[in-house]
Structure 1
């Protein structure tokens, strides 16, 4: 499925993590020690890569958590079909439809013939940069 595992206590801001089945980028990490018999806990705040929604996770620092495997690819835009964009991977020449970026700075640069960097994460794809 494209995930690795790490301990919650090893996460830092800027890392990627899976919360509620959604790949997210960590924006805040705070750790709290509990009573003399309790385990230290970490509070993780992250933003979904695909939806932009905020997710939080409270877990013991020694608990294993899923880390998404991010495959970075380069593609060329073949067609702009409003909501979707037709891309061709420049390594495999595979063509597929991908969701138009919601970020205004990316969406304004989308045009046929442009090269883009896209990420493939857990079976989903997202344009992250227009070259």
Structure 2
């Protein structure tokens, strides 16, 4: 498992966190100071990088949370199948299949021979953009 750990209070908008086993990008964060003996609470809203689902996390600022380690790499499209894309990493020459991107702007540019940027996080890969 490729994760690291951070405190909930240290996260900022744009950083990444694991919620319900899904790597997510933080889009909104709010902090609430509580009473004399309570700890500060953090309310965090994040979007899953794989499914686009909206997730929330609420907890004390000193709570330890998992942060995914995201490997950003370049690959070349070898073949386009029905709902999959076969990609070859340009450094390791490893060939693998990933799901066709849901973003129509990226999806329309995918063709054999095109270079793409793909991210690998928590054992899953997906295409982010066409180079």
User: How would you bin the TM-score normalised by the shorter chain?
Assistant: over 0.9
Q: Secondary structure at the match of 2:58?
A: strand
Aligned pairs, how many? 131
Tell me which residue corresponds to 1:14: 14
Residues 76-131 of structure 1: CA distance to partner in whole angstroms, max 9, x if unpaired?
00000020000001111111110000011110111110000100000000101101
The C-alpha deviation readout for 1:48-97, integer Å capped at 9, x for no partner, is 00000000000100111100000011100000002000000111111111
Q: Distance in 1 between matches of 2:82 and 2:111?
A: 11
**Which consecutive unaligned segments of at least 5 residues does structure 1 have?**
none
What is the alpha-carbon distance in structure 2 between the residues aligned to residue 107 and residue 17 of structure 1?
Answer: 26
Runs in 1 of length 4+ with deviation above 3 angstroms?
Answer: none
State the TM-score, normalizing by the size of structure 2. Answer: 0.98
RMSD, matched Cα: 0.6
- The runs of 5 or more residues in structure 2 that have no matched partner are none
Q: If the length of structure 1 is used for normalisation, what is the TM-score?
A: 0.98
* Alignment partners' CA distance in 1, 2:112 and 2:59: 45
CA drift at 1:37:
1.2
Partner of 1:70: 70
- Once the two structures are superposed, residues 14-50 of structure 1 have per-residue CA deviations (whole angstroms, 9 ceiling, x without a partner) of 0000001000000000001122111100000000000
SS in 2 for 1:105: helix
Q: Identify the residue that residue 99 of structure 2 maps to in structure 1.
A: 99
Matches within 5 A, 1:83-94: 83-94=83-94
